[in-house]
Amino acid sequence: MSKVIVITGASSGIGAALARRLARDGDTVVLAARRRAELEAVAKDCGTRGLPVVADVTRREEVRALCEAALQRFGAIDVWVNNAGQGISKPVLELTDEDVDGMMAVNLKSALYGIQAVFPHFAERGRGHIVNVSSFLGRVPLVTFRSAYNAAKAALNALTANLRVDLRRTHPGIHVSLVMPGVVRTDFSRNAMGAATPSVVPPGTRAQTAEEVAECIATLIERPVAEVYTSPAHKALAQAYYEDVEAFEARAGSAERR
């Protein structure tokens, strides 16, 4: 059955790939981002199934307007994907208040706004699916110059888990999922705040394409689970990290010094 799916951060990268993937299979996609030209180009790729809505998702009122636009046009929302995000290239000791506030606004608060905007509709229907796109780096500190980005994604992980537990008790028909990609071949590094840095691929893993991550999210939408790493190698690294944090971080520090 086709669904109405809202995707933030949909003008490029994972969001754009996901929009195209879902529209190709018959879903209707409501696409949100700040860049009008890029957003409309993605919507055009989606044909009649794509609705572009220019929005800055760090502003609560614009996220509410996005939700209202989707409901007004299609009458219902089945899935809300909080995908908008931005990185940073600064170690912890160089971070400013502005750096941290910016990372939290884009990577955490935008998701909170989306959750709170769509929840009343999901609660009224008794069903729905919230998908938060986080990062493997929110679990494992392997790329430390991403610092505040990693911290914001770790906060998103916790926010997602707490929401999921709450709704399991009160609204069991509403699914809440967390997606954790690793390095993805997009413009993410180029668009990060701070000095330009190359993408760092953790040992034993590889960079994925946006289309591979989109396929993983599409599968998750069809068969909801609590959380998913888009690469099995990332899951294995996360398990190794939590089995012995001190030893893992010592090895990671030695590798960085080399």
Is 149 among the catalytic positions? Answer: yes
How far lies 150's CA from each of 47, 79, 80, 116, 123, in Å? 35, 25, 22, 23, 31
Tell me which of 149, 229, 241, 242 is the catalytic residue: 149
Backbone angles phi, psi at 8, to 5 degrees: -90, 160
Report the alpha-carbon distance of residue 220 to residue 142 in Å, rounded.
Answer: 26
Locate 105 and state its tokens: 């606004």
Sign of CA dihedral 228, 230, 231, 234: negative
Locate 153 and state its tokens: 């994604």
Per-residue three-class SS string for 151-202: HHHHHHHHHHHHHHHHHHHHCCCEEEEEEECCCECCCCCCCCEECCCCCCCC
Q: Are the beta carbons of 64 and 56 closer than 8 angstroms?
A: no
Locate 133 and state its tokens: 């796109």
Beta strands in the chain (DSSP E): 4-8, 28-33, 50-54, 79-82, 88-89, 128-133, 174-180, 193-194, 227-229
Q: Are the beta carbons of 157 and 106 closer than 8 angstroms?
A: no
Sign of CA dihedral 217, 46, 84, 173: negative
- By annotation, the residues acting in catalysis are 149
